[in-house]
């Protein structure tokens, strides 16, 4: 009888330790994910983006925080590297993809994506903002 009690006590203790181990390992994995997020702040004004090219490592979760400072602007980027066919698997995986993000003057727009596939991804302004609008461009370079 005593032996059985001892055995079940051992079982309960190890079950608790196992649950505790699972619980303790959770915050660590959450921490690891947030460490991988790279926040990049960019300002947009006639006729340039402040940071370009933007360099990120493949596999990084990126948050672009873009603020238009002098005028309304836009942000348009393809989800496959320059020169690749648009039917290819997305190299930039957006949380919420848009054809053209509108950047309102004075407001910060957050664009979030995972930089999956190495390559050069060009972006440009897609909100007519003046004479130099067509030359308002930049690049995101995803490195291996």
Residues of this chain that interact with Cu ion (CB under 5 A) are 125, 129, 133, 136
Query: Which residues, at least 6 apart from 14, have a Cβ–Cβ distance to it below 8 Å?
Result: none
The residues pairing with 41 across neighbouring beta strands, listed in sequence order, are 65
| Percent composition of the chain: helix, strand, coil (DSSP 3-state, to 5) | 25, 40, 35
The distance of closest approach from Cβ of residue 43 to Cu ion in the complex, given in angstroms and rounded to an integer, is: 14
Query: In whole angstroms, how close is the CB of 35 to Cu ion at the nearest point?
Result: 35
Judged by CB, which is closer to Cu ion: 56, or 68?
68
Q: C-beta of 136: minimal distance to Cu ion in Å?
A: 5
**Which residue number, 38 or 46, has a Cβ lying nearer to Cu ion?**
46
DSSP letters of 74-140?
EEEE-SS-TTS-TTSPPSEEESS--SSEEE-BT-EEEEEEEE-S-EEEEEE--S--STTGGG-EEEE
Nearer to Cu ion, 38 or 133 (CB): 133
Min separation Cβ 127 and Cu ion, Å:
5
Largest Cα–Cα distance in the chain? 91
Between 103 and 142, whose beta carbon lies closer to Cu ion?
103
């Amino acid at each position: 009888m005593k032996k059985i009690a001892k055995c079940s006590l051992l079982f309960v203790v190890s079950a608790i330790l196992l649950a505790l181990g699972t619980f303790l390992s959770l915050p660590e994995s959450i921490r690891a994910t947030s460490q991988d997020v790279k926040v990049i702040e960019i300002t947009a004004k006639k006729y340039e983006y402040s940071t370009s090219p933007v360099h990120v490592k493949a596999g990084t979760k990126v948050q672009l925080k873009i603020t238009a400072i002098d005028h309304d602007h836009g942000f348009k980027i393809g989800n496959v590297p320059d020169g690749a066919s648009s039917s290819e698997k997305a190299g930039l995986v957006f949380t919420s993809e848009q054809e053209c993000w509108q950047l309102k003057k004075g407001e910060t727009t957050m664009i979030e994506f995972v930089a999956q596939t190495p390559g050069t991804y060009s972006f440009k302004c897609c909100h007519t903002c003046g004479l130099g609008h067509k030359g308002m461009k930049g690049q995101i370079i995803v490195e291996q």
